[in-house]
Structure 1
């Protein structure tokens, strides 16, 4: 992670609220300002990748970080990528003290009054994920005040799914070109769903009506499914967002993603990728189109991303498939 970050991002730009991320902050506010003030080093940022997704990510190196009291302004999930160091932090409860190694995670919810945060006795490269204050419409957020979000303030835990999602997002930060909005949105939604399922205080008043409906609803009905599938077919070459698909179905993002998978057996991004790959198989029979041409025709940001998705789905590279057919 370190060498790639240094070679690709000479001067990373810190993540800021754009006015559309929904973190609850005013546009221009630096989301990781406490780390800047505390002395951490920014290695990579989704700002430099041009992500248009609802997830915002940074990779920072912490070697001797000392943050005094602050009120957390954004829902944040932190995952250690490499190295090791001791972490001491405290909010209202007892001090949380642990040795952080690759895979360990922390949650710092919006609205928590943190008394101190110290990272010392080592070096850690950590992925910092900044999420919307309502976790994609699943938490009640009546205004922009830094009120208690309902998430747990916890650290030093190991959750295989959280680690897997974090590594996938970190991989996208390193990739030459991002995989696309629907993939990044899906990773962010999966992370938010994990937070809601296992890392909230389960206060019913904190959950939105759309979240409760999404948990209890069944599969997407045929009419909505047909509308969504038609939208997918018509936009195979576009960089669509998960929110756009949910809007077509007239549902919240969380509700839609659950209902779509129940109806089709696949997550929306996987189904959309499979449609693109099926179209690519047809285009690969045209000798006048290069692999790069096909990649752009079906909405991939590069031939590399297309080849990666195609091989994952089909088992061979686009060139190998073309030669065999």
Structure 2
């Protein structure tokens, strides 16, 4: 299958980087969103390659300082300035963004096609998102992008442990933020402060519970309920008190606790059965939610049971 957008290996090749781990979500209809981590600690001085021209943007969170960055658009140098770690930059793929790679660099790149930006703008009376407001080579101090980037880097480091619902949730939030902050989209008035109907809550929870691995997409569940992804996510949180990905983690822990009451069942088997990638992943999540490790919880539970 041919890759559609500028992310992953296609982006890595353009930026002269051999490693380009990527997380992808298709939570907005047919639009693909992606985040790619690109790093090169020993680059061969050269200008970056041309990327595919398309109606999309790259939003970049810089993870390392890059002094005297020479930025190009449409075949000419447009600015030369110091890039600071923690800053956010925008690049319009219609304008052939490139820069001179002559120093080590490390960045996250969010691939945001216009179709995705317009999807979050599709509300009654809502305008389409126009051109994003940015100046080539000028960074923004964007706390939201830093937070999303830090959260998704964990998934990029451990892709086998990534909860797809979490990736969908974070990328949806980022797309809405970019549309509002750089595209002039006004935050929509809440159509209703109510949550899901009881039958919707049951169906959504059943669908999530049927696949504890978290591979099911938010778009699929929302479509089954006749809702947009953003409406579903908001209403689900109102009804259950948790966003879908957090609710699923709670269900994984609940399932693991039930399995741990079976004596002599190895924790490694319990981890896989409860939807975790491996025992290490299970231990980290369980400890963060319950406050003790699975082994300690099991010993305490067994001790209490032996006394009865």
Q: Provide the TM-score with structure 1 as the length reference.
A: 0.72
CA distance in 2, matches of 1:212, 1:232: 27
Kindly report which structure 2 residues correspond to 1:1-325, keeping only aligned pairs within 5 A, or say none: 27-29=2-4, 31=6, 33=10, 36-37=13-14, 40-46=16-22, 53-54=25-26, 55-61=33-39, 64=45, 66-67=47-48, 71-89=53-71, 95=78, 97-109=80-92, 112-114=94-96, 117-119=98-100, 122-135=103-116, 137-139=119-121, 150-154=131-135, 155-175=138-158, 177-202=160-185, 212=188, 215-223=190-198, 224-236=200-212, 239-325=215-301
Deviation for aligned residue 1:241: 1.7
Mean Cα deviation higher: 51-60 or 256-265: 51-60
Contact (CA 8 Å) 1:177, 1:305: kept in 2 or not?
no
CA distance in 1, matches of 2:58, 2:216: 25
Change (3 A) 1:85 1:197: same
- Alignment partner of 1:286: what SS? coil
Deviation by residue 1:21-52 (Cα, 9 ceiling, x = unmatched): xxxxxx34562557635x52232322xxxx66
What is the root-mean-square deviation of aligned Cα atoms in Å?
3.3
Contact (CA 8 Å) 1:86, 1:119: kept in 2 or not?
no
Deviation for aligned residue 1:200: 1.1
Deviation by residue 1:265-308 (Cα, 9 ceiling, x = unmatched): 32111112112212222222222322221222122222222222
Structure 1: runs of 5+ lacking an equivalent: 1-17, 19-26, 141-146, 205-210
Deviation for aligned residue 1:69: 7.7
Structure 2: runs of 5+ lacking an equivalent: 27-32, 123-127, 302-308
Deviation by residue 1:198-251 (Cα, 9 ceiling, x = unmatched): 12133x8xxxxxx958x5343323232232123233333562222222123221
Deviation for aligned residue 1:119: 4.1
Q: Provide the TM-score with structure 2 as the length reference.
A: 0.75
